[in-house]
């Protein structure tokens, strides 16, 4: 049972394996999956020719709705992607490359990742970053684990206004550890500062915040970061990277770790993935970073070169010393992020962020002007904002969907008591006409 690559073949071996993990049958392994989600059968259809397969795929694609106008975000966003991103990232040198363990034949990939690290540090205002992670949620969870290792403490404070998907990932990562995760209530779409300060103590390893938060609210966490520092706790800030064209960076707020999802940086929605996560830190925490870091060096002839350095995976160092066993660092998606940011440049990023902000402000004014509709929080926002409707938000969204409009994210699923609240996202792709169509359709649905 202990030998590497063991794969049970006989019924007796399968029973032995099940006994070791404490279940009586294979069916028991799947008991946690609701019956309606289980596959009725693993019987596969007969094989088909390439021509038949392509025809079948075309029939399926024909069922897709291509007329939907999305005003939905919540962590994944419909942004423009410059053609150069697809062109360069699709080159075979990048698309077929694997982990660059051999620097003598991986200089192109290594340099691209080195430049990626540079732009992430400049974007976040932090000192160091690794060569990407799986996604934004796992980056947040890895940051929490880093805080536990650095401080030696066992308590994490999490703002309830942090993306609920990311909070769930953090809870999953920490579920079997002796760690206390305390959620701080979000009052009208903003974290409760007084509760944060009252709960923060000498046992706290880190506080986790998000800017803009899941409701779209923008904040400056400098005061909370300073309070955490006094207590010896770290500050982790999750960010929407495009917003940093306008907003204060985590580094400027005094954050110790900055994380986020790179989907909005040149990666398509693609039914939810792939994307990449970034995790940037102050220099003193660099040796606790998970994954891998690319460094610049010189060869024996003094020529500039790049290598993997400070590798902290279990494949490289003693297992108990490893900081992460994540193998999928999504380098190709991170490369897309690098190309996207390099294409925009500093001024382009500011212009793009401003366009998102201005369009969202226009939409916010129109929608909040509808009878019976109000803003959950009148504070500053970026390109998302939350409305309080006079009826259930999920019902309104369902009716607007029949009109070709994906109106936003109803919040009742994650925030009991906010069933009438709807978070709306407006990116640079939404036109004035589309925004006005949304407002007219919502008013008609609410009052016709």
Other CB atoms within 10 A of residue 195 CB: 17
For residue 19, being part of any structural domain is answered with no
For residue 47, being part of any structural domain is answered with no
Residues 6+ apart with CB under 8 A from 315: none
Q: Check whether 366 has a pLDDT greater than 80.
A: yes
User: If you average pLDDT over residues 151-171, what whole number do you get?
Assistant: 97
204-238 pLDDT tens trace:
999 999 999 999 999 999 999 999 999 999 999 99
Residues 326 and 362 in one domain: no
For residue 27, being part of any structural domain is answered with no
Q: How confident is the model at residue 1 (pLDDT cuts 50, 70, 90)?
A: very low
Q: Provide the domain count of the chain.
A: 2
Residues 262 and 135 in one domain: yes
Residues 310 and 370 in one domain: no
Quote the pTM value: 0.87
Residues 91 and 156 in one domain: yes
- Average the pLDDT over each of 134-143, 162-171, 323-332 and give the range with the smallest value: 323-332
Q: Check whether 21 has a pLDDT greater than 70.
A: yes
- What CATH number does residue 394 fall under? 3.90.1150.10
What range defines the domain where residue 389 resides? 69-80+347-447
* Long-range contacts of residues 267-271, Cβ cutoff 8 Å, at least 24 apart: 267/81, 267/333, 267/336, 267/337, 268/81, 269/76, 269/77, 269/78
Last residue of a domain, one of 341, 375, 390: 341
For residue 232, being part of any structural domain is answered with yes
Measured CA to CA, the distance from residue 128 to residue 280 in angstroms comes to 6
For residue 137, being part of any structural domain is answered with yes
Residues 93 and 235 in one domain: yes
For residue 41, being part of any structural domain is answered with no
Q: How confident is the model at residue 42 (pLDDT cuts 50, 70, 90)?
A: low
Measured CA to CA, the distance from residue 277 to residue 262 in angstroms comes to 6
Residues 175 and 111 in one domain: yes
Residues 326 and 395 in one domain: no
Residues 6+ apart with CB under 8 A from 4: none
Other CB atoms within 10 A of residue 404 CB: 13
Specify the DSSP class assigned to residue 278. Answer: E
Q: What are residue 183's phi and psi, to 5 degrees?
A: -90, 130
Measured CA to CA, the distance from residue 417 to residue 316 in angstroms comes to 49
266, 85 Cβ separation under 8 angstroms: yes
**ω into residue 212 within 30 of 0, thus cis?**
yes
Residues 159 and 282 in one domain: yes
In 204-329, where do the E strands start and end?
204-211, 234-239, 257-261, 277-281, 293-298, 304-309
Residues 275 and 316 in one domain: yes
For residue 25, being part of any structural domain is answered with no
% of the chain at pLDDT higher than 90: 73
Residues 262 and 168 in one domain: yes
Residues 224 and 351 in one domain: no
Query: What pLDDT does residue 382 have?
Result: 98
84-121 pLDDT tens trace:
999 999 998 887 777 777 888 889 899 999 999 999 99
For residue 239, being part of any structural domain is answered with yes
- What CATH number does residue 286 fall under? 3.40.640.10
372-405 pLDDT tens trace:
999 999 999 999 999 999 999 999 999 999 999 9
Query: What pLDDT does residue 14 have?
Result: 85
Between 5 and 50, residue with greater pLDDT = 50
69, 401 Cβ separation under 8 angstroms: no
Residues 145 and 265 in one domain: yes
- Which tokens is 56 given? 């079948």
Q: Check whether 411 has a pLDDT greater than 80.
A: yes
């Amino acid at each position: 049972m202990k030998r590497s690559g063991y794969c049970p073949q006989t019924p007796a071996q399968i029973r032995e394996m099940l006994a070791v993990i404490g279940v009586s049958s294979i069916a028991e392994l799947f008991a946690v999956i609701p019956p309606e989600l289980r596959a009725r059968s693993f019987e596969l259809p007969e094989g088909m020719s390439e021509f038949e397969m392509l025809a079948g795929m075309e029939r399926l694609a024909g069922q897709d709705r291509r007329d939907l106008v999305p005003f939905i975000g919540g962590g994944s966003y419909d942004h423009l992607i410059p053609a150069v991103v697809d062109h360069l990232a699709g080159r075979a040198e990048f698309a077929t490359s694997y982990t660059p363990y051999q620097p003598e034949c991986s200089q192109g990939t290594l340099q691209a990742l080195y430049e990626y690290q540079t732009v992430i540090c400049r974007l976040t205002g932090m000192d160091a970053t690794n060569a990407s992670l799986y996604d934004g949620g796992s980056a947040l969870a890895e940051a929490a684990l880093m805080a536990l290792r650095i401080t030696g403490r066992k308590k994490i404070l999490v703002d309830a206004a942090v993306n609920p998907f990311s909070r769930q990932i953090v809870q999953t990562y920490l579920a079997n550890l002796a760690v206390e995760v305390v959620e701080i209530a979000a009052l009208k779409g903003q974290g409760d500062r007084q509760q944060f300060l009252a709960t923060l103590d000498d046992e706290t390893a880190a506080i986790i915040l998000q800017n803009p938060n899941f409701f779209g609210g923008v904040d400056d966490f400098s005061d909370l970061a300073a309070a955490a520092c006094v207590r010896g706790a770290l500050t982790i800030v999750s960010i929407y990277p495009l917003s940093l064209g306008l907003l204060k960076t985590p580094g400027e707020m005094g954050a110790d770790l900055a994380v986020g999802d790179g989907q909005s940086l040149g990666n398509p929605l693609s039914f939810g993935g792939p994307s990449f996560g970034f995790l940037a830190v102050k220099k003193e925490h660099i040796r606790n970073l998970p994954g891998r870091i690319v460094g610049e060096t010189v060869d024996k002839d003094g020529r500039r070169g790049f290598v993997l350095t400070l590798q902290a995976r279990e494949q490289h160092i003693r297992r108990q010393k490893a900081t992460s066993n994540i193998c999928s660092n999504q380098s190709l998606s991170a490369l897309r992020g690098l190309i996207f940011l390099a294409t925009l440049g500093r001024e382009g990023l500011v212009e793009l962020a401003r366009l998102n902000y201005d369009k969202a402000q226009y939409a916010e004014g129109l929608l909040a002007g509808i009878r019976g509709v109000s803003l959950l929080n009148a504070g500053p926002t970026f390109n998302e904002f939350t409305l309080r409707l006079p009826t259930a938000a999920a019902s309104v969204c369902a009716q607007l969907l029949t009109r070709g409009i994906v109106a936003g994210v109803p919040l009742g699923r994650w925030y009991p008591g906010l069933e009438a609240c709807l978070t709306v996202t407006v990116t640079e792709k939404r036109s004035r006409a589309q925004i006005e169509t949304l407002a007219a359709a919502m008013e008609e649905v609410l009052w016709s």
